[in-house]
Structure 1
Amino acid sequence: MSLKGKTLFITGASRGIGQAIAEKAAVDGANIIIAAKTAEPHPKLAGTIYTAAKAVEAAGGQALPLVVDVRDEMQVAAAVAEAAKAFGGIDILVNNASAISLTNTEATSMKRFDLMNQINYRGTFLVTQQCLSHLKNAENPHVLTLSPPLNMDPNWFKGHVAYTISKYNMSLAMMGMAAEFSDAGIAFNCLWPKTTIATAAIAGQVGGDELAKVSRLPAIMADAAYQIFAQPAKSFSGHFLIDEDVLRGAGVNDFTAYQVDPSLEVEQLFPDLFL
């Protein structure tokens, strides 16, 4: 399987998991639309759409960096149209953009509540909706959303109700669309990490450097996504997938290289939410 000549529209691809997926596909010679808000360097977060574009091109792909706020319908529509015009269509959509706030109900401001729901759920729905006409014309179209399996254990709600619901809504959207567009041959799947992933969100907003040390690198999500894109879209849809399980299915048994600290035992890694 190769993604050579395939066009991937990836939201939030200026850093972290989104950029890792972009670079993985770029090795094959894929076309990557880097759709994210960060055009100017952020004081606390490394990476812009332009630095990500350079990394994609260095890996062997073609890059189209576009300033896109997934909350803005006009921006999303314009970006999708520009992407399709530049590369002749869209083969794969990755809904990676997301906002997180692990705050309890009383500590969650409505501004933060709206941000999470507008980016996570509404943004996923909007970008997917805008890409559908192009995906219907693709040879093996995939929509991959980075959201968790639907685990109704109250434990995953009680500490951060707003965040959990916003992420579960992403998963619900994929489940529904998988059924709605089954005849169109478009795959809708969700991917979630078994352990925490060392991204800026983890280090800066959740657990700092200490949590990052017991996490895995974004590359594990990128490699798992790559395996998913290889699947026949018509028969591989509606799944809630875990990165490690996907790679074990592809024959990977040693995950040490994915660890931030390779000296740690698997049991010392921090499990991600919702599992």
Structure 2
Amino acid sequence: MCLAGRTLLMSGGSRGANLILLAKSDTPDRRLSGTIHTAAAAIEAAGGSALAVVGDVRDEASVQRAVERGVAANCLWPETYIATDAVKNILGGEAAMDRSRSPEIVADAATTILERPASECTGNTFLDMEVLHDAGVTDLSPYGGAGELEYDISVDRPG
């Protein structure tokens, strides 16, 4: 997977490539580690370049202007809980973490989407596991979840 020469504008990425982070979270929250600024600093410390932009993707006119300039606008959502500070500190502690997949599943799905030409892949809503299945990944066990997985509240359970 190669994303060389591409720039990513990512909303909701303030909690941890050439990356422009667009998020509303520019102030610390005691329950969640990191802000848009600390995420940008971590990318730069790892040798990348980053620009933190405080913004709101709910402003349809702003999103439309970006799309008109050739920026793909897609949504990627996890099928299940993802093992993050929000899940641990807000949704249910270690028990919720045990029912979560690792953040790598979202990263792998995002990379798969980002490799597609922007002109051919825009305006979509994806689930992480569907993207990976379409890419030929059939075994999701490396992404964890010790027991029964907890489905995200925004996702219909299978069956």
What TM-score bracket applies, with the shorter chain setting the length?
Answer: 0.7 to 0.9
1:252 aligns with 2:124: no
> If you compute each CA radius of gyration, which structure gives the higher value, 1 or 2?
1
In structure 1, distance between residues paired with 2:119 and 2:25: 35
Point out which structure has higher relative CO (alpha carbons under 8 A, 6+ apart): 2
1:242 aligns with 2:108: no
1:129 to 34, 57, 61: 61
Aligned runs of 1:263-274 on 2, under 5 Å? 264=146, 268-273=148-153, 274=155
Distance verdict in 2 for CA 1:136–1:59, change over 3 Å: farther
In structure 1, distance between residues paired with 2:139 and 2:67: 35
Q: Deviations over 1:96-153 (max 9, x none)?
A: xxxxxxxxxxxxxxxxxxxxxxxxxxxx331x52143343233xx31122xxxxxxxx
1:214 aligns with 2:102: no
Count of aligned pairs between the two proteins: 155
Q: Which runs of 5+ in 2 are unaligned?
A: none
Q: Note the C-alpha offset of 1:238.
A: 4.6
In structure 2, distance between residues paired with 1:42 and 1:235: 38
Q: Partner of 1:65 in structure 2? A: 52
Over the residues paired in the alignment, what is the CA RMSD in angstroms? 2.5
**Contact 1:142 / 1:229 at 8 angstroms: preserved in 2?**
no
Q: Which runs of 5+ in 1 are unaligned?
A: 20-25, 71-123, 146-190
**Contact 1:8 / 1:33 at 8 angstroms: preserved in 2?**
yes
Aligned runs of 1:181-220 on 2, under 5 Å? 191-220=76-105
Runs of 4+ in 1 over 4 A off after TM superposition: none
**Contact 2:9 / 2:20 at 8 angstroms: preserved in 1?**
yes
Distance verdict in 2 for CA 1:125–1:40, change over 3 Å: closer
Q: How high is the TM-score relative to the length of structure 2?
A: 0.78
In structure 2, distance between residues paired with 1:235 and 1:51: 33
Q: Deviations over 1:165-205 (max 9, x none)?
A: xxxxxxxxxxxxxxxxxxxxxxxxxx222211122332233
In structure 1, distance between residues paired with 2:8 and 2:122: 18
Bigger helix fraction:
1
